[in-house]
Amino acid sequence: VAPWAYGCLAAYMFFLILTGFPVNFLTLYVTIEHKKLRTPLNYILLNLAIADLFMVFGGFTTTMYTSLHGYFVFGRLGCNLEGFFATLGGEMGLWSLVVLAIERWMVVCKPVSNFRFGENHAIMGVAFTWVMACSCAVPPLVGWSRYIPEGMQCSCGVDYYTRAPGINNESFVIYMFIVHFFIPLVVIFFCYGRLVCTVKEAAAQQQESETTQRAEREVTRMVIIMVIAFLICWLPYAGVAWYIFTHQGSEFGPVFMTLPAFF
């Protein structure tokens, strides 16, 4: 790998730290300082900010430092720690988006009659994201797959490159693809799809007034942004990981294997 590639990687990590830390820290600070913002529906947004901070400190900072050296300098233990915290933060972010979609669907579409979204529901949603994130980040530490330096060897992630005996990579990659990508994708599409349909039906019943038309446009735009953001964040990594996993023995450049991880 050319030296300039490591420089670009370090610069990109610095950019993510420079933008990610202030935004997410301010989100936490402002919400904690202002009581009006501490509503149950905002709990999952706070959880998403915490997930992003995990990525900043557990992933981006480490990768920036190691890319300046041209290889992962922290050894096996450091690889496990970096891989764990980066995976935990990424998965918390993913499942926070899923819970956010479910909460909006429950509040707007009211699939359960007489349902009122409260603090207990919000706490359950946050706890669910941690459970699902741990169900992905912990197994490689205890023998189901493993964390190894990936791509340009400056960060660590789940081993989807090899089929080493005793590691059980095949079953873990299949589990990750189904449970931690395909199912969240289906849930998000379903919830936001129903949300758009419900808003359109409500608008039709009110003779398409200017207010309902504006609300319909805003909801539709929000749904499109959320779905596209999810696909941009996760489709490149999941697609490349699955392609490499199903084409064992083929030659893949380190840059090709590195780029999707930083979407």
Tell whether residue 206 is among the known ligand binding residues: no
pLDDT, one tens digit per residue, over 141-160 is 998 999 998 888 888 988 88
For 150, the 3-state DSSP assignment is strand
pLDDT of residue 256: 66
Q: Which two tokens stand for residue 245?
A: 């996993």
Beta-carbon neighbour count of residue 170 at 10 Å?
Answer: 13
Digit-coded pLDDT (tens) for 127-142: 999 999 999 999 999 9
pLDDT tens per residue, range 212-231: 667 677 777 777 887 887 88
Domain definitions of the chain by residue range? 3-262
Q: Is 210 annotated as a binding residue?
A: no
Distances (CA, A) of 258 to 95, 156, 213, 217, 230: 23, 10, 44, 37, 19
Enter the CATH code of domain 3-262: 1.20.1070.10
